[in-house]
Structures are given as C-alpha cells and as structure tokens.
Amino acid sequence: MNIVIAIAALAVSAFSAFGFWKAGSFKSKASKEVLLGAGMGWVEKTPLGTVRLVAWLEILGAIGVVLAPIGAYVTTGDLSVASKWIGVAAAAGLALTMLVAFIMHAARGEAKYTWKINTQMFLTAVVAGVLQAFVTLPVLG
C-alpha cells in the first residue's frame, strides 16, 4: 500500500510542480505589459517586485515539492527528516499562495474568471502535501 501512495504522491507532486513552475517562470521573465496582455489584471496595480516575489515563491515551491521527497529517500539521518518536512511545507506554501490568490482575485472582482484554475492549483498542492505527509512522515505513515 505504501508504494502505491508513494507513486501517487510523486505523480501529484510532479503535476503540481509543473503547473507552479510554468506559472512562476512566466511571471519571473515577462514584462508588466506581457502579463497584462495574458489576462493578469492584478499586475496593473501591483509593484513588479511583488510580482517577481510571487513568481520565485512558486518556482521554489515547485522545486521543493518534488526534490524534498526524493531527498528524503536518498539521504539518511537528520537530513532525511528535514527533507520530509520541507516537501510537506513546500506543498503547504503553494496551497497558501493559491488561497491568497483567490482572496485577491475575489477582492478585485475577478474570481468568476480565475476560480477554476485557482481551485485546481490549490487542490493539487493540498493533495501533494497530504500524500507526501502520509508517505514520508513516520507520525502519519
């Protein structure tokens, strides 16, 4: 059973990481005009530094949600324990990012356009975190 959950955790984590990596990469490289043209209206009144911060949080979360569980299996001792918690924390951080995004879009009146993708990204991050917790953390697994 643990191997099935481990494979599911890795698959969902990879899927979640791909989405966040793609979004973060786009936000980190594109100009404000390109982002506005892509339908990201929130960028208009948001400082570019904040947009870049969100981008790098998404990129780092994507890296953490995939590499930390792998690191937990290939390392031993304290590093292995830390890797287990980092993977779960990365997934939780990505879920929190999407929760804040939904609140921001709702406040701007954009939620009717963005709720589907926000919900999908939120749920993939939550499922990845929960599966990783059950697979890697001895308290739950």
CB-based contact 28:55 (threshold 8 Å): yes
- pTM of structure: 0.87
pLDDT of residue 124: 95
Q: Single out the residue of 138, 135, 140 nearest to residue 3, CA to CA.
A: 135
Mean per-residue pLDDT of the chain: 88
30: left (phi over 0), alpha (psi -120 to 50) or beta: beta
Chunked into runs of 10 residues, the chain (141 residues) has average pLDDT values of: 77 93 96 92 91 95 90 78 86 95 90 91 94 69 45
**Residues in CB range of 88: below 8 A, 6 or more apart:** 129, 132, 133, 136, 137
Return the domain boundaries, the chain.
Answer: 2-136
Half-sphere exposure of 65 (CA within 13 A, CB side): 33
